[in-house]
Structure 1
Amino acid sequence: MSDFTMQQINHLWNIKLSKAPERQPLIAGLLDKRYIENLQWLDGKKVEILSPKTILRFIDEELIHDNDAILKQSGQFLHSMSSGERKQAFLQYTLSLKPEVLVLDHLLDNLDMAARERITNQLEAQSKNFSIINIYSRDDDHLGFLKDSFLYENGAISKKEKQTQRSNTTKNEHPLPPPLHAVSEHDNPLVAFNQVSVSYLDKCILSNISWVINKGQFWHLYGPNGSGKTTLLTMITGDNPKAYGQDIKLFGKQKGTGETIWEIKQKVGYFTTNMTFQFKRRQTVRDMIISGFFDSVGLYHIASDQQIKLANAWLDFIGLAHLNEKPFIDLSMCHQRMIMIARAMVKHPPLLILDEASVDLDDESAAQMTDLINRIAHEGETTIIYVSHRLEPGLTPTNSFELIPGEEGSTGLMREI
């Protein structure tokens, strides 16, 4: 047994992943209690894991088995919260279970700066009560109060520190693929909110929001957890009934003048990180992209020769043509997300919404994602809304919209960048 595994009563570890794909076998092993050599001290301990997968499992328990533990704790179901709010609520629930070991899988992703500081201080104050393992991919997500830092690489944990290195990406010369059919023109602006307010019960979420989104713009939407970003997006995608009766124009039409939710969704490409967990069948990478033509979770139609040709062109564009016959579920997280963005873009929607596209990725993978998003923005005509708490280095939005919380709900501030 290594000399650093049994030295202290409470293990306080940072474990940096060498690359984001290393996360899958490590977390799977922890969930299934298949501990690698230097984590065998976990055996027999009460281990609680906070990860995207454990959060989704709990949401299933809420929806299928009426588990109301978090509702009783916070007054709200987990599935009705934003990604950042979910993580904070699930952390408090996990702590209430009194673990002997708390495993944090990319805890600080999805969290605004105030939440990161508050949670870090709470964990530091309680760290004498249990062991903590913080698994992370971005250098900024290292927890400074944890005593020991390790690297997870090729299935093993070592004390060796490794400096993050970003590889020089080879310029992709393949052009943005054309649409399958001519893209219909839409009136400018694509989206116009005029003094829009949204309340739930007695709580005001959005207050007098005015936001105009024009063709070809590249927006960065940001604000702290709970500021109403998700609510605002659902007003655009047609999923929120609160949009009716408001002064909102979507793609040239006043909201509530006869358009259907499906007509709106035909004009919006949407990606959020939770979408990748919905695809569990062993569809090939190419079939996943083709399914974007049919808006289906998986491919259940016979693709035309032109659809196959365009799917191949998208694989060339994102640099993943060599993976075309691989099962989607076997890909790295970064490659899955690149495929999902291509899937959202195959019909060249007027508007593309990317919700936390770089969350949980390592620095190199995030740079790869940034390059892809910039290319779509610069080479195409699709308007982009990029939602995040941090603006990735190198990302080049043209405008920003900030949600600023207040006692009467969040107000909005538009800026040109």
Structure 2
Amino acid sequence: MGTSINPFLSLEHITTRYLDKTLFDGLSWEIQPNEQWAITGPSGSGKTALLNTILGKFNIINGSIQYYFYEAWRQVNTVTDPYFNYRNLIAYVGHHHTFKNLSNTTTDFYYQQRFNSMDADNSPTVQEHLGITEIPVLLSALKIQPLLAKRLIKLSNGETRRVMIAAALLKRPQLLMLDNPYIGLDVQTRKDFTSMVNEIIASGTTVILSTSPQEIPEHITHVLTLENGKITGRYTREAYLQLPIAQEAAPELPQLEAGKIAALVANRQEFAFEDIIRMENINIKYGENVILKDINWTVKQNEKWALLGHNGAGKSTLLSLVNGDNPQAYANKLWLFDRRRGSGESIWDIKKKIGFVSPELHQYFGARDNSLQVVCSGFSDIIGSTKPATEEQRNIALTWMDILGINQFAHQPFKQIPESSQRLTLLARALVKNPPLLIFDEPCQGLDTQQKLHFKQVIEQLCEHMPVTMVYVTHYEEELPSAVNKFIRLSKGQVI
């Protein structure tokens, strides 16, 4: 058989198991040379699992995967390393980074590290991470040059994604797999990213990416649709784009039980604040880098704000001042809950008044932590710590999980429950201490359309049933709950 008629990659009737779960049963899929595929389907349909199966991470108990591109590569390249295999020719970029610190290669970053200049210096620069002295041609589309001297921990979402792809391309892979690469990117960065993927494909690398149906780069030639671990369609890009778009109806959300919420909120301390947040001419810089410039912003009790801006506009830094995570707060005129920062209150006095929800928090919990432990960690305010809770705390946590419809996951490992339920678990974690301020930092990142609608409806109902001040960050304004009626937009560190 001549090599030319072999496919690039072939999955032949594979049955895949992970832990005690069957992910795929008898699945077949073939990729021909020069084909570029997008995998799409609802959250939980198996997109990430399929990429990980090709990567060799899961147990294939039946059928096989034929890596024909590896055989073809071996015929023209000499390999002396006995451990060299098909995995050496595949690069995978997920949506959670796995960067390490300089001082201890086994620890990941801690959440507040990026805002502490001393500890941020313990994070490698982009140049150190990539191990390059000059930019090779294959990285030109990534615009890496201006990032080389930056510390990894200081990168914005979009910059982090570019660096992860740069590291992947430096492996000179035959196959590049991108898992949900558009997550957390603003409109302009998404456009830049699409043209970058097109350039990577034009350079001769085969690309498979999981994505939403709305975000398929032009150079993708084929689309695979998945649902519940089964292939529901194989299309050329043109045929796929001509399919009628299924109008997704808003999910029927059971009304949150107002009585239970009222009971939980009844025993909260009554807070009466003049200003929840007041900033006067706030300036934040790291070295020569100005991150925030002359910010004036006041948030009154029970106001509902949207915080908007492009990747790298300064939103995370602004939130870090409110959250008590940024030591530069003391050098600025900042009042939180009517107290000037630096007038004697501790970071913990601030944190106990704030409920914080961000998909990023997911990374700081252990693989064994169950969902109830994660919810109870909201009482201690230490991200990633799951110290034992009191009986009363467990009861409050379980009541919130019941209200949000996730109590069936209480004793399951947090990282193994569906992504939308993980997000509601983090919401329950924010609510357990009845905080006067809720901060949402892109809470719907990575959820499908139905799950985003569901999360939005939950927030809208909570706003109806309990007094709360809210700051909501997102790149997609359609995700904003209807209660939001005030807006602050940043561009390059300034309010516009």
Q: What interval of TM-score do these two structures reach, taking the shorter chain for normalisation?
A: 0.7 to 0.9
Aligned to 2:368, which of 282, 305, 309? 282
Change (3 A) 1:113 1:38: farther
1:171 corresponds to: 254
Taking the aligned partners of 1:149 and 1:63, their CA distance within structure 2 comes to 43
| 1:5 is aligned to 2:30 | yes
- Give the 3-state SS of the residue equivalent to 1:87 in structure 2: helix
Change (3 A) 1:348 1:228: same
> What's the Cα RMSD here?
2.8
Work out which of the two has the higher radius of gyration on C-alpha atoms and give 1 or 2. 2
Taking the aligned partners of 2:265 and 2:127, their CA distance within structure 1 comes to 45
Higher RCO, 1 vs 2 (CA within 8 Å, ≥6 residues apart): 1
Q: CA deviation at 1:14?
A: 0.8
1:254 corresponds to: 340
Aligned to 1:155, which of 217, 222, 229? 229
1:122 corresponds to: 196
The AA in structure 2 aligned to 1:96 is L
- Give the 3-state SS of the residue equivalent to 2:214 in structure 1: helix
> Would the aligned equivalents of 2:253 and 2:454 in 1 still touch at CA under 8 Å?
no
| 1:50 is aligned to 2:93 | yes
Taking the aligned partners of 2:251 and 2:430, their CA distance within structure 1 comes to 27
Q: CA deviation at 1:148?
A: 0.4
Aligned to 2:300, which of 211, 214, 221? 214
2:495 corresponds to: 412
Change (3 A) 1:336 1:399: same
| 1:391 is aligned to 2:477 | yes
- Cα deviation digits, residues 58-101 of structure 1 (max 9, x gap): x1265633884624462112222232321123223333332221
Change (3 A) 1:184 1:30: farther
> Would the aligned equivalents of 1:174 and 1:316 in 2 still touch at CA under 8 Å?
no
| 1:182 is aligned to 2:271 | no
- After TM superposition, the score normalised by the length of structure 2 is 0.74
- After TM superposition, the score normalised by the length of structure 1 is 0.87
Q: CA deviation at 1:311?
A: 2.2
Aligned to 2:490, which of 394, 400, 403? 403
Aligned to 1:78, which of 127, 137, 152? 152
Change (3 A) 1:232 1:39: farther
Q: CA deviation at 1:27?
A: 4.3
Q: Write the mapping of 1:7-26 to structure 2, written as runs, cut at 5 A.
A: 7=32, 9-20=33-44, 22-26=46-50
Percent same amino acid among aligned pairs?
24
Change (3 A) 1:265 1:202: same
Aligned to 2:388, which of 292, 298, 301? 301
| Count, aligned residues | 403
The AA in structure 2 aligned to 1:19 is S
The AA in structure 2 aligned to 1:47 is I
> Would the aligned equivalents of 1:20 and 1:362 in 2 still touch at CA under 8 Å?
no
Taking the aligned partners of 1:394 and 1:67, their CA distance within structure 2 comes to 34
- Cα deviation digits, residues 124-167 of structure 1 (max 9, x gap): 1231320111102x333222331101112333444166855346
- Give the 3-state SS of the residue equivalent to 1:199 in structure 2: strand
Taking the aligned partners of 1:335 and 1:291, their CA distance within structure 2 comes to 17
> Would the aligned equivalents of 2:348 and 2:381 in 1 still touch at CA under 8 Å?
no
Structure 1 range deviating more: 179-188 or 349-358: 179-188
Q: CA deviation at 1:325?
A: 3.4
- Cα deviation digits, residues 357-400 of structure 1 (max 9, x gap): 11111111111111122222232222111111112346221211
> Would the aligned equivalents of 1:50 and 1:103 in 2 still touch at CA under 8 Å?
yes
Unaligned 5+ segments in structure 2 are 1-9, 13-27, 71-85, 106-121, 129-146
Change (3 A) 1:266 1:71: farther
Taking the aligned partners of 1:274 and 1:10, their CA distance within structure 2 comes to 35
Unaligned 5+ segments in structure 1 are none
- Give the 3-state SS of the residue equivalent to 1:90 in structure 2: helix
